[in-house]
Chains A and B, each alone.
Chain A
Amino acid sequence: MGINMQSESSTSLSLMAENVSLKKNQQTILSNIHLQISSGEFVGLIGPNGAGKSSLLKILAGLDSDFTGEVSLLSENKLSLKKMHRLQRAQQIAWLAQQDVPTWPLSVQHLVSLGRLPWSKNISQSSPADLQAIDAAIEQTDLQLLRQRSVLELSGGELQRVLLARVFAGEQPIILVDEPISALDPYHQLHVMELLTEKSKQRGMVCAALHDLNLAAGFCNRLVLLNHGQIVASGQPAEVLTPENLRQVYGIEAYVDCREEGVVIIPRKRVK
């Protein structure tokens, strides 16, 4: 399976949403979303609260099928997400929920091992390949010292890294994460963003819903700006994060500085 996956990601895979709309209780959550994310990309999904970022990620992950339109995987041929077997989908797309707090005090190692579920047939014992992937994920996320700790005793930053390690332990070429850094201090925010960037280069593509515009601009290849369930702008950070867009979508006056090192945004005041 592992070899198979490698070849697929090298023949450029992409995740495509065509004309996706979502209505819940007569309220439009998303309308006419067209989006394509390709191998090697780290796409930041930005927009104010309630813009539909989480809903879109869930649809892209195949967890919500009440939408109209189509989401498909494009490699050599086009494969509709709705028609894929759930296990096949789970082996292609990883999804990390926003503030995913585990119910039980599992050990770090155990929680990370859950990422292997789409591949492991055995119920209680991990195979050597599983163990290797778990070790690698733990190492990547600097969790070696916390292995046996209970996940409920960890700090927010540590927990987020454990949850990411769970995703990294899998082999999915597509990684979708919902607000992975909103509750973290700057050090851990940078750590998580670095890990995601690394993953997007190694394994395939990453799409993350983000609130921190500066970090989004600094790390993502491409930003997609959502407002009221519609894509308002999409492209290079500097093209998306214009004072115009910030005023219209976020309702803020902001100082935007496009330097060589990246875009810097300083919010000044609300638009009255």
Chain B
Amino acid sequence: MLSTSGYRLFILVLLLLIGLSAVVALDSGAADISLVQAILDWLKGESSLASTVLTQIRFPRFCLAIIVGASLAIAGASMQMVLRNPLADPGILGVTSGAALGAVSVLYFGFAAAAWYYLPVAAIMGALISLCCVYVLAGLQASILALVLSGVAISSIAAALIAVALNFAPSFYAMQEIVFWLMGSLNNRHMDHLWIALPFCILGWICIFTRSRFLNALSLGEATAQSLGFHLQTERIILFFGVALSVGACVAVSGSIGFIGLIVPHILRPLVGYQPLRLLLASALTGALLLLWADVLVRHLDMARELKLGVVTSLLGAPFFLMLMIKSRSKWV
């Protein structure tokens, strides 16, 4: 476990890596442009092809990778702490599916174009509802099995309802669009997407980060946390709201990207220890870095059709999840 100074250094290194990755991320993409030229044009205020690609396509994509990665990791870390369960993750617990259902219903009925906030708000509501369902079903006993099962139940309901929407999709193209969107990607995102997600994400992060004292107390159980002066109901509601806001907003712009929230805190916990604030901050930066590189990878794979980002994270994350399940088998019941 890292000491305080070691931890500071670790955070600094992560920030530095994100800075360096920015160069790589902004330099990768289908259009063959020179990054230096693009920056120079942009600084001069000339609207060349290079500067347009940089500012309108690559920069928003880079920013979205950062905020989506950070949000999912923070959501995963805080859910693991509040449910006192190392397998909690927005994807596994059906929060992402709930958000996707909310978003799909808005997209499907064509409300998404009516006002900019319809899509994120629908996704956030979906996330919040599924989170509450999971908590009611399994939160009271800290059993891993109950938690995963209720996640499965919530995900299945959301998947079934999404399937209904696909079934009655007005056209083949509409269906294809929804399916591709569901897979999770940061392709073809613009500044508008960034502006939709960012305020909700920031609000969500604030909700979660300000609960870190409560999360610290919670490692001794809910009643003990209460005896240490915390109001359980209020703290939990703010936390759930924070998770729903950030995950919902991310799903609204990127589709469902899984497993970041499971993998990142799990790797970091032995390293940064169990101080919630430290874990949350380190998870945010590592999540951002991980998604950024997954997105760079997707762009560099030379394929006829771009591999979706959500597919990559699932391919990485699902075996990891399986490994964790096997490792924690003794604690299932």
Binding site for B on A (CB under 8 A): 58, 61-63, 86-87, 89-91, 93-97, 100, 102-107, 110-111, 114-115, 117-118, 123-124, 166
Contact = CB atoms under 8 A, between A and B. Distances in A.
Given A86-B230, A90-B229, A100 B220 contact: yes
Nearest to B211: A123
Interface in B221-271: 221, 223-224, 226-231, 269
B219 A104 contact: yes
A61, A87, A111, A117, most chain B CB atoms within 10 A: A117
A90 B228 contact: yes
A58 B221 CA distance: 14
B223 A63 contact: yes
B151 to A, nearest CB: 19
Contacts of B277: 123-124
Given A100-B220, A114-B228, A124-B212, 12 more contacts: A63-B223, A63-B227, A89-B229, A95-B224, A95-B227, A104-B269, A105-B274, A117-B217, A117-B228, A118-B228, A123-B216, A124-B275
Contact of B224 (A97, A104, A123): A97
A117 B274 contact: no
B221 A100 contact: yes
A110 B274 contact: yes
A102 B220 contact: yes
A114 B229 contact: no
B61 interface: no
11 contacts: A62-B227, A86-B229, A90-B227, A90-B229, A94-B227, A103-B84, A105-B274, A111-B219, A117-B216, A117-B217, A117-B229
Contacts of A61: 227
A103 B227 contact: no
Interface residues of B, number: 25
B230 to A, nearest CB: 7
A102 B216 CA distance: 11
Contacts of A107: 1, 273
Contacts of B142: 103
A237 B218 CA distance: 37
B300 interface: no
B329 interface: no
Contact of B213 (A97, A110, A111, A117): A117
Interface of B: 1, 84, 142, 212-213, 216-221, 223-224, 226-231, 269, 273-275, 277-278
Given A86-B229, A97-B224, A110-B275, A102 B217 contact: no
Given A111-B220, A117-B217, A166-B220, A104 B274 contact: yes
B221 A93 contact: no
B125 to A, nearest CB: 30
A103 B229 contact: no
A172 B226 CA distance: 15
A208 B278 CA distance: 36
Contacts of B213: 117, 123
Contacts of A166: 220
A103 B331 CA distance: 12
Nearest to A122: B213
Contacts of A87: 229
B221 A110 contact: no
A115 to B, nearest CB: 8
B219, B227, B269, B278, most chain A CB atoms within 10 A: B227
A25 to B, nearest CB: 16
Contacts of A100: 220-221, 224
A170 to B, nearest CB: 8
Nearest to A176: B227
Contacts of B1: 107
A114 B227 CA distance: 11
A123 B274 CA distance: 13
B266 to A, nearest CB: 12
A114 B217 contact: yes
Contacts of B212: 123-124
A106 B231 contact: no
Contacts of A96: 224
Contacts of B223: 58, 63, 95, 97
Nearest to A151: B219
Contact of A91 (B84, B219, B221, B229): B229
A93 B227 contact: yes
A59 to B, nearest CB: 12
Top 9 closest pairs, chain A to chain B, by CB? A90-B229, A95-B227, A103-B84, A87-B229, A117-B228, A124-B277, A118-B229, A104-B274, A106-B274
Contact of B220 (A58, A86, A94, A114): A114
A111 B216 CA distance: 9
B220, B269, B278, most chain A CB atoms within 10 A: B220
B141 to A, nearest CB: 13
A230 B223 CA distance: 24
Nearest to A119: B229
Contacts of B274: 104-106, 110
A62 B226 CA distance: 9
Contacts of A115: 228
A238 B273 CA distance: 50
A95 B230 CA distance: 13
Contacts of B273: 107, 110
A17 to B, nearest CB: 17
A200 B332 CA distance: 41
B231 A86 contact: yes
Contacts of A123: 212-213, 216, 277
